[in-house]
Amino acid sequence: MGISFVRTIILYIFVVGAMRVMGKRQIGELQPSELVVAILISELAAIPMQETGIPLVSGIIPILTLIACEIILSSITLVSVKMRQWITGKPSILIKKGQIDQKEMWRLRFTLDDLMEELRLCGYMGPDEVDFAVLETNGKLSVFPSCQNKPVTAGMMNLSCPEGGMPVTLICDGFLSLPSLDSAGKDMVWLQNTLSAQKLLPQSVFLMTVDSLGKVIIIPKETLKKQ
Amino acid sequence: MKKLKFAIATLIIIPLVIAASHIYLRNVTEDMVTKINQAEQSERDSKTYQTKTELDGFSNEWSKNELVLATFIRHSELDIANQSIAKLKSLADTDDVSGFYAECETLKMQIRHLVEVERFSADNIL
């Protein structure tokens, strides 16, 4: 039991590190090869975790090999377009100018129910509301509405609107991030002045953000009473 | 680029580690089999005390090697060898000569089997 516990901790740290090395795509949307690696890694880690008679190395070596192969493969796909198309496939157009491409759907074994479900999830009732629908290589459907179904934008209305900046989190749950303060182009004096104007200390702030326009959002911490 | 270097280095290091483990395993098993043969020969020459001394030496060396072997060999395989060693010592203590010879062969086969299961061969891969 104790051995399983220690092995589980070692493999947990190892697999978390492995997923971190492979990058963010493994955590979000998976390409076919990445899905294979993710499934295999979980299996490879589970076997030596439970079977104490199997050397830990016999789980670690295959995981390391898979990570290395995956990194090399993704590097190759980055350089070679042909390899990329061969490994990850190409996006497929399922709806073109409101018309469903039945041949393509048959080829992809994508049912009409699947298509309608995806359209509803995107907020469209039927293919007639859609200009293009593209099945991406990660299995997600990108839907582009027809002109009359497009939401009105400020550009269409010839309205001018201020450019919004990306907000930077300066204080998160009472913890000040100095690198974020630097990247926002602010200093400690500005921070202290901003907070003292609201009679706050950094540790009493739940969230503080600032965007490139200088718009500051401060949410003070709520004092939670024991129930 | 950093990750690619890591990946290439990993794919180079892993075969090297595997090769090193194979060399170590082959050397250890050859050494162990030689020691069993020596003990067996001593028993055939009726040098009972020498047989027991050689068996103790073999057992001590096996214990040291077992720590390393356990990092890449299935523990069940090593357990079988451990059982055989314990049996061999007992047979030597009770002067059961025929049983001792038979167990020597079993132990040698089991130790050679450790190399066999790790060998790059079609039957192991398939």
Q: Do domains A92-149 and A168-220 have the same CATH topology?
A: yes
Tell me, yes or no, whether B5 lies in a domain: no
From the options 3.30.240.20, 3.40.605.10, 3.40.50.2030, 3.20.20.70, give the CATH code of A168-220.
3.30.240.20
Contact B10 A65 (CB under 8 A): yes
B117 CB near a chain A CB, below 8 Å?
Answer: no
Tell me, yes or no, whether B8 lies in a domain: no
How far apart, in Å, are the Cα atoms of A91 and each of A94, A98, A116, A139, A214?
10, 18, 18, 9, 40
List residues bridging with A100 in a β-sheet: A95
3-state secondary structure string, chain A?
Answer: CHHHHHHHHHHHHHHHHHHHHHCHHHCCCCCHHHHHHHHHHHHHHHHHHHCCCCCCHHHHHHHHHHHHHHHHHHHHHHHCHHHHHHHHCCCEEEEECCEECHHHHHHHCCCHHHHHHHHHHCCCCCHHHEEEEEECCCCCEEEEECHHHCCCCCCCCCCCCCCCCCCEEEEECCEECHHHHHHCCCCHHHHHHHHHHCCCCHHHEEEEEECCCCCEEEEECCCCCCC
Interface test mutation site (partner B, options A67, A73, A77, A79, max chain B beta carbons within 10 A)? A67
Task: Using pLDDT thresholds of 50, 70 and 90, give the confidence band for residue A3.
Answer: low
| pLDDT at res. A29 | 64
Task: Using pLDDT thresholds of 50, 70 and 90, give the confidence band for residue A227.
Answer: very low
Tell me, yes or no, whether B93 lies in a domain: yes
Contact A68 B72 (CB under 8 A): no
Give the closest residue to B39 by CA, choosing from B26, B27, B51, B25.
B51
Contact between residue B84 and residue B58 where contact means Cβ atoms under 8 Å apart: no
ipTM above 0.85, yes or no: no
Contact B75 A58 (CB under 8 A): no
What is the 8-class DSSP label of residue B11?
A: H
- For residue B34, the enclosing domain spans 21-120
| pLDDT at res. B101 | 92
pLDDT higher than 60, residue A25: no
Contact A68 B3 (CB under 8 A): no
* Domain positions in chain A: 2-86, 92-149, 168-220
B73 CB near a chain A CB, below 8 Å?
Answer: yes
List residues bridging with A176 in a β-sheet: A171
Average pLDDT over residues A3-31: 69
The whole-chain average pLDDT of chain A stands at: 84
What tens digit of pLDDT does each residue of B24-80 get?
Answer: 999 999 999 999 999 999 988 888 888 889 999 999 999 999 999 998 888 999 999
Q: How many domains does chain B have?
A: 1
| Per-residue tokens: B96 | 């059961």
Tell me, yes or no, whether B1 lies in a domain: no
Residues of B in contact with A72 (CB under 8 A): 4, 7-8, 11
| Per-residue tokens: B55 | 């068996």
Plot region of A147 (φ>0 → left; ψ -120 to 50 → alpha; else → beta)? alpha
Neighbours of A151 (CB within 10 A): 7
pTM over 0.80: no
| pLDDT at res. A117 | 92
What tens digit of pLDDT does each residue of A53-107 get?
Answer: 888 888 888 888 888 888 888 888 888 888 888 777 788 999 998 899 999 999 8
Give the CATH class of A92-149. Answer: alpha beta
Tell me, yes or no, whether B125 lies in a domain: no
What tens digit of pLDDT does each residue of A153-201 get?
Answer: 888 888 887 776 788 999 988 899 999 999 888 889 999 999 999 888 8
| pLDDT at res. A150 | 87
| pLDDT at res. A165 | 73
The whole-chain average pLDDT of chain B stands at: 89
